[in-house]
Chains A and B, each alone.
Chain A
């Protein structure tokens, strides 16, 4: 394969060209209530060619692997057509490597029947809870192998196994409907989705309790976020803003995001990196063949780094960070997060909450999105804080705000970092990309809270 690809990438008349070939296999099981909604097996084989001429790109994706040389020629022709003169592409050492999948309890070696038995158990726990209307469960495991070759001499084969589980309980009382959910994931370890019986039982009970829970009065509150929700906040509110493709061609945004700018208090440290083994956002090389790293984005409150592809690093005259990722062969790599987290501080939970007269303790993840400056993210579970203590359960809340003021309003960082592996990130139609995010408990002053 290596010889074939290096042959294909010869004599192409572009400044740079690369080929990616992918095979993947996915198994997918979903339930709606007692009914199995879907069991699917899917297999794909395909690939793409990307070529750069100056600052313009051509991209060709395909399922049929024949005629690769013609596909390279088409990508080069398209890149020429863009006719953008100046192009910057940060240098990267060519790499030759074969990376086997990181697996512990491999879902591929388990029969469908065993997976279904476990899901049946979870489903029965939910449906057996009084007050529950229905359930929904979605389990998937995916194996993916990507072969990458570039005109600079890189040749990398990487494989990975991704496991995801989302469980939701729906409670209904007349026209009132409330839902609670749980999302988990792992890189190649089925064990992560096992043994959740207790958690799922509580999830179902909470959905029923939420039917009679009051709504929060909209307004500004002091909030404490649990590690899961604080991780989502980190991803939405700051992670996306750190992706250099949003700013590299916008002079004014670059000024706004100048390194050294103070974003938060000295207690705030934010990191992204794929070089940690075993997390869903981990890998050895990104989709441009750049080795995974650990990048400090904020250190002691100051902006110190950002996430790059080779192009954004070239334009901004910085170093690539190994953050160019594509969700699959239908798309070119773009700047993405990997594992993003707030580093732990030293505040224990009791100290964080004790001075809050009226506030909100928001837990668990339901969704999140950003426009760079503004973000919203929603909790799966929320409680009032009254006189320094966690008080009554309330309906889930949506938190919203401006990243520049909100980061500065973080005034306590806990000592209890946890990583959340249940999310999938979406950007520019590319979703869901496996990422993880995390944080210790954090406290934010004056956060806009809306009931939902």
Chain B
């Protein structure tokens, strides 16, 4: 591996090198069968320099020689943002375990068996279901060093299983599915099978709802697809600094329901969103965002923290460009009532398992409208069948500002969000019916 730091230090006052080497092996299933086996190996080097008080930045994928990468970063410096922070010095990071050597040891044959076994279980329930999905393993090595002598590296392993089943009936498509993601091998797919079979079971009958305002329960998957995106924007330090977050200036204020608690935690062992330090070398932490409905903190990286006059929350994340504030694992605190008891309170309402298009809403104001791709009518406390051609709309801040109930059951969705079920007492539902 080339040395990027030394040549960068020669031309700039400060420099930082972030390298990710990853090997990912996705095994893909189509039409209930194994279809494709992939091996993806990649190396990315990101070079950030500070020269004359400005930030220069370049990224190389593959064998980009150090002098080329340094020249590219230098080229951007005259136009780059002002550096309002310093790179962190060496730190002793608390161990956050996100690596299990067992992930890489799972053979492709075993991964194929896992996926085919899961498909078999779904077909035992519904023989006509046609499944596609992925079982994948990934091992990456992350290395970070800067001109203040900080140098650290860690390994991360991620194993994930995802399945989607489609059932075609005359003039109707039904999509079901679920997934799981962990830093440890997932050798038991029974939870994914059970939850997908439950969807198939509930969807056996097609029913209809009148268009009106009614109680709506969002499942954890429903929350991930409908309510979370605006929160990600509102607590992002960059949005807080530029004033586009509706929560700017409302720290300490009770904005949400007293039952609502939300935090970000990068220190949970074996969660794919965890890490010992963030992508700038700031130690990971648990950051309270909402406590008892009161806005506590926002997520900051080094630059936005300085702009806001506070400290980084260890939330510097990279998605191909400069680091920016981002969440690790978002967790919504659970409630006290059981999910079944919550359903029992509903005379006529909607259970939302998945919406499509809600993230195209106004993420700043929280207004959304989502097509209920998978949702069920609830009557007299019982799930009575699937509804389609239905749009649920509302405002995330109003919904989370007066929550009917949070369930005591909570689960992870795609490895990055843990949430209970949430009951909203009244939301607008428009349905074309069947």
Complex contact A400–B369 (CB within 8 A): yes
Q: A82 vs B34: C-alpha distance in the bound complex, in angstroms?
A: 6
Chain B residues with CB under 8 Å of A43's CB are 58-61, 64, 68-69, 72
Complex contact B244–A177 (CB within 8 A): yes
Q: How many residues of A contact B (CB 8 A)?
A: 83
Chain A residues with CB under 8 Å of B112's CB are 81
Complex contact A450–B393 (CB within 8 A): yes
Q: A402 vs B59: C-alpha distance in the bound complex, in angstroms?
A: 43
Closest CB in chain B relative to A297 CB, distance in Å: 19
Interface hit among B166-174, B216-224, B273-281, B327-335? B166-174
Complex contact B244–A170 (CB within 8 A): yes
Complex contact A116–B79 (CB within 8 A): yes
Chain A residues with CB under 8 Å of B168's CB are 250, 252-253, 256
Closest CB in chain A relative to B103 CB, distance in Å: 18
Q: Is A376 an interface residue (CB 8 A)?
A: yes
Closest CB in chain A relative to B125 CB, distance in Å: 18
Interface residues on B, range: 35 or more
Complex contact B362–A45 (CB within 8 A): no
Chain B residues with CB under 8 Å of A79's CB are 37
Q: A218 vs B391: C-alpha distance in the bound complex, in angstroms?
A: 9
Complex contact B173–A330 (CB within 8 A): no
Complex contact B58–A40 (CB within 8 A): yes
Closest CB in chain A relative to B15 CB, distance in Å: 15
Interface hit among A51-59, A142-150, A414-422? A51-59
Closest CB in chain A relative to B434 CB, distance in Å: 11
Complex contact A83–B34 (CB within 8 A): yes
Q: Is B40 an interface residue (CB 8 A)?
A: yes
Q: Is B251 an interface residue (CB 8 A)?
A: no
Chain B residues with CB under 8 Å of A402's CB are 388-389, 432
Complex interface residues of chain B between 418 and 434 (CB less than 8 A to chain A): 428, 430, 432
Complex contact B321–A82 (CB within 8 A): no
Whether A133 contacts B322 in the complex (CB less than 8 A), given A219-B211, A448-B432, comes out as no
Q: Is A374 an interface residue (CB 8 A)?
A: yes
Closest CB in chain B relative to A411 CB, distance in Å: 18
Whether A249 contacts B79 in the complex (CB less than 8 A), given A43-B68, A134-B243, A400-B369, comes out as no
- Within the complex, which residue of A28, A29, A83, A450 is in contact with B391, where a contact is CB–CB below 8 Å? A450
- Within the complex, which residue of A40, A46, A134, A376 is in contact with B76, where a contact is CB–CB below 8 Å? A40
Q: Is B356 an interface residue (CB 8 A)?
A: yes
Complex contact A36–B364 (CB within 8 A): no
Q: Is A373 an interface residue (CB 8 A)?
A: yes
Complex contact B362–A376 (CB within 8 A): no
Complex contact A178–B365 (CB within 8 A): yes
Nearest B residue to A52 via CB reads B36
- Within the complex, which residue of A28, A369, A371 is in contact with B321, where a contact is CB–CB below 8 Å? A28
Q: Is A105 an interface residue (CB 8 A)?
A: no
Whether A374 contacts B371 in the complex (CB less than 8 A), given A35-B81, A133-B244, A170-B244, comes out as yes
Complex contact B76–A39 (CB within 8 A): yes
Complex contact B173–A372 (CB within 8 A): yes
- Within the complex, which residue of A40, A59, A179, A220 is in contact with B59, where a contact is CB–CB below 8 Å? A40
Q: Is B180 an interface residue (CB 8 A)?
A: no
Complex contact B173–A371 (CB within 8 A): yes
Against B, the Cβ 8 Å flags (1 = close, 0 = not) of A121-146 are 00000000000011010000000000
Interface SS of chain A: helix, strand, loop or mixed? strand
Complex contact A218–B393 (CB within 8 A): yes
Complex contact B321–A38 (CB within 8 A): yes
Q: Is B95 an interface residue (CB 8 A)?
A: no
Closest CB in chain A relative to B127 CB, distance in Å: 13
Nearest B residue to A176 via CB reads B365
Nearest B residue to A47 via CB reads B62
Nearest A residue to B395 via CB reads A452
Q: How many A-B residue pairs have CB under 8 A?
A: 259
Chain B residues with CB under 8 Å of A45's CB are 61-64
- Within the complex, which residue of A37, A60, A367 is in contact with B359, where a contact is CB–CB below 8 Å? A367
Q: A36 vs B432: C-alpha distance in the bound complex, in angstroms?
A: 46
Q: Is B42 an interface residue (CB 8 A)?
A: yes
Q: A332 vs B370: C-alpha distance in the bound complex, in angstroms?
A: 31
Complex contact B75–A452 (CB within 8 A): no
Whether A395 contacts B373 in the complex (CB less than 8 A), given A78-B38, A374-B356, comes out as no
Closest CB in chain B relative to A210 CB, distance in Å: 9
Q: Is B11 an interface residue (CB 8 A)?
A: no
Closest CB in chain B relative to A47 CB, distance in Å: 9
Q: Is B117 an interface residue (CB 8 A)?
A: no
Q: A131 vs B76: C-alpha distance in the bound complex, in angstroms?
A: 32
Q: Is A101 an interface residue (CB 8 A)?
A: no
- Within the complex, which residue of A63, A179, A253, A376 is in contact with B63, where a contact is CB–CB below 8 Å? A63
Residue from the set A40, A60, A175 with the largest chain B CB neighbour count within 10 Å: A40
Complex interface residues of chain A between 59 and 92 (CB less than 8 A to chain B): 59-65, 74, 78-79, 81-84
Closest CB in chain B relative to A176 CB, distance in Å: 6
Q: Which 6 residue pairs of A and B lie closest in terms of their CB atoms, listed nearest first?
A: A450-B369, A376-B357, A367-B360, A63-B62, A249-B31, A44-B61
| Apart from A43-B68, A59-B39, A250-B130: 13 A-B pairs, beta carbons within 8 A | A33-B243, A36-B81, A41-B72, A64-B63, A133-B243, A332-B36, A370-B356, A374-B373, A376-B370, A448-B389, A448-B430, A452-B367, A452-B368
22 A–B contacts, CB within 8 A, in A order: A33-B243, A35-B81, A43-B58, A57-B37, A61-B38, A64-B41, A64-B62, A78-B37, A113-B78, A136-B244, A177-B244, A177-B246, A218-B391, A252-B128, A372-B173, A373-B172, A376-B360, A376-B369, A376-B370, A377-B357, A400-B357, A452-B369
